[in-house]
């Protein structure tokens, strides 16, 4: 990251030239681009079949479809970060999935 010598603003690359984002001053030196960390490529990803290896907790919750009394549950942040998370349920019998907002 480079900063402008004139105003201290952030220098960005525009049309292959270094330009201050705040005041628009163009830098005379050639822009330098380099990565700060190396990203490694993974060759294979394991996929676990949910039917064979379900690790979700089971709770007492009535399924709206089959009226079974047990369901798996998990939570996910589906809205803004300042709002509560959404809890998802999946029936252990008929596999129907539904959600419940807090």
Contact 99, 89 (CB under 8 A): yes
Instruction: Let me know: does 21 contact 13? Beta carbons within 8 Å.
Output: no
* Identified catalytic residue from 37, 43, 60, 82: 82
Whether 83 is catalytic = yes
HSE toward the beta carbon, residue 68, CA cutoff 13 A = 16
Pick from 31, 97, 26: which is nearest to 65 by CA?
Answer: 97
Distance CA 84, CA 78 (A): 9
Q: What are the structure tokens assigned to 48, written together?
A: 């676990």
Give the residue numbers marked as catalytic: 82-83
């Amino acid at each position: 990251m480079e900063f402008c010598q004139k105003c201290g603003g952030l220098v960005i690359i525009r049309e292959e030239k270094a330009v201050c984002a705040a005041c628009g001053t163009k830098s005379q030196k050639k822009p330098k681009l380099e990565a700060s960390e190396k990203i490694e490529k993974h060759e294979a990803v394991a996929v676990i079949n949910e039917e064979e290896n379900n690790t979700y907790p089971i709770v007492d919750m009535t399924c709206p479809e089959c009226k079974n009394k047990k369901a798996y549950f998990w939570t996910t942040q589906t809205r803004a970060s300042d709002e509560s998370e959404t809890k998802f349920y999946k029936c252990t019998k008929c596999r129907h999935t539904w959600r419940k907002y807090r």
